[in-house]
Structure 1
Amino acid sequence: MSRPERGPVGEGRPEGATVGADPGGRPAGGPRRSGLRNPERAVRGLGAGTLVLEALVLVLAIQPIRMVGGDLGGAAIATVVGLAVAAVLLAGTMRRPWAWHAGTVLQGLLMLAGLLHWSLLALGVVFALVWAYALHVRRVILG
C-alpha cells in the first residue's frame, strides 16, 4: 500500500496535507463535506422547525392583533388559522421535495393575507426572509 506524497510544510500547505488537495486537506475535486452526519436530515429539520415556529407565531398573533385595534374579523382569523395548520402539515412532509416549493408558496400566501391586516404582511415579510435563509442553507449544504 503506497502512502500519498506529502509536500513540504513551507510551501503554503498545512503540515501533512496531500499533494493535489485543496487547503482544507480534501482531495482535489472531491465532494465538499459539511461535517454533518446526515445533512439531508439536518436540512429537513431546519425547514420543519421554521414552519412550526411560523405556525406558532401565527396562532399567538391573533389576540394581540385584535387588542391593538386591528379589525380582525372571522374570515381573517380563519385565514390565519388555516395558514398555521398548513404550515404544520408542511412541516410533517419535509421529506418530499415538493414541500420546499409549497413552503415558498405558503410565505407568499401569508404576505397576501396582509390585505386583511397590515401586521400579517409584516409577519409574512419576516418569515419569507427566514424561509429564504433556510433555502440558502439547504442549497449550501446539499449543493
Structure 2
Amino acid sequence: MSGPPADGPVRGSPEPKGRGGEGADARPAGGGPVESGPAGSGRPVGPRRSGLRNPVAAARGLGAATLGLEALVLVLAVQPIRVLSAGFGTAAVVASVALAVGAIVVAGLLGRAWAWYAGTVLQALVLLAGLLHWSLLAVGVLFALVWGYVWHVRRVILS
C-alpha cells in the first residue's frame, strides 16, 4: 500500500531537470517538436521567440482590437462633431461613420496580409478627415501612433 506513486520519482533516483535540462524528460520551453538528429540535442525545431502559442493570432487580435476601438471612438465622435461643427458638420459625420464601418471591415479581414496595409490606409484617411473637423484630426493622430505601435509589436513577435 505504501510506496512511490506510479508516475512519481523513486526515492534515490535522479530527478528530471526543468525546462531545457539534461534529464530524460527534457522538453523544449515552447513545447514544440524536438529535433531527432544524431546529436539528439533536444532543442525545439524553429523556436518561438515570443513565447506565444500562436503569435500570428496574437498579432491579428491586437490589430483587430485596435481597429475596433478606433471604430467605437469614431462613432462616439459623431455627437460632438454634430454639436460643435460650423460648416462641414454633415460631411464630418458621414466621414466619421464611413471610417468606423471601414475600420470594422478591415478588422475582420486582418487574417489576410493586404488588410494590414489597408489598416494603414485607413489611418491616413482618418487623418485626411481631419480637414473636415479638428476632432477627427485628433483621433487620426492618436490612432496613427497606436497603429504604428501595433505594426512594431507585430514585427517583433512574428520575427
Normalised by the shorter chain, which TM-score bucket?
A: 0.7 to 0.9
Q: Give aligned-pair identity as a percent.
A: 66
In 1, the alpha carbon distance for the partners of 2:80 and 2:93 equals 12
Match 1:89 to one of 81, 99, 105:
105
The answer to whether the Cα contact below 8 Å between 2:66 and 2:147 also exists between their aligned partners in 1 is yes
Indicate the residue corresponding to 1:12 in structure 2: none
TM-score normalized with structure 2 length: 0.69
Match 1:36 to one of 49, 52, 74:
52
Indicate the residue corresponding to 1:6 in structure 2: none
Mind listing any 5+ residue stretches in structure 2 that lack a counterpart?
1-19, 23-28, 31-42
1:59 positional shift? 0.3
Larger radius of gyration: 2
TM-score normalized with structure 1 length: 0.76
Question: Quick one: which amino acid aligns to residue 71 of structure 2?
Answer: A
The answer to whether the Cα contact below 8 Å between 2:131 and 2:137 also exists between their aligned partners in 1 is yes
Question: Quick one: which amino acid aligns to residue 130 of structure 2?
Answer: G
The answer to whether the Cα contact below 8 Å between 2:81 and 2:92 also exists between their aligned partners in 1 is no
Question: Quick one: which amino acid aligns to residue 96 of structure 1?
Answer: R
Matched, 1:133 2:125: no
Alignment of 1:98-109 (within 5 A): 98-109=114-125
Matched, 1:75 2:91: yes
Point out 4+ residue stretches in structure 1 off by more than 4 angstroms. none
Helix, strand or coil for the counterpart of 2:51? coil
In 2, the alpha carbon distance for the partners of 1:70 and 1:137 equals 37
Alpha carbon RMSD of aligned pairs, Å? 2.0
The answer to whether the Cα contact below 8 Å between 2:75 and 2:100 also exists between their aligned partners in 1 is yes
Alignment of 1:35-54 (within 5 A): 35-54=51-70
1:86 positional shift? 0.4
Q: Which of the pair is proportionally richer in helix?
A: 1
The answer to whether the Cα contact below 8 Å between 2:106 and 2:115 also exists between their aligned partners in 1 is yes
Question: Quick one: which amino acid aligns to residue 38 of structure 1?
Answer: N
1:17 positional shift? 7.2
Indicate the residue corresponding to 2:158 in structure 1: 142
In 2, the alpha carbon distance for the partners of 1:139 and 1:50 equals 16
Question: Quick one: which amino acid aligns to residue 70 of structure 1?
Answer: S
Helix, strand or coil for the counterpart of 1:115? coil
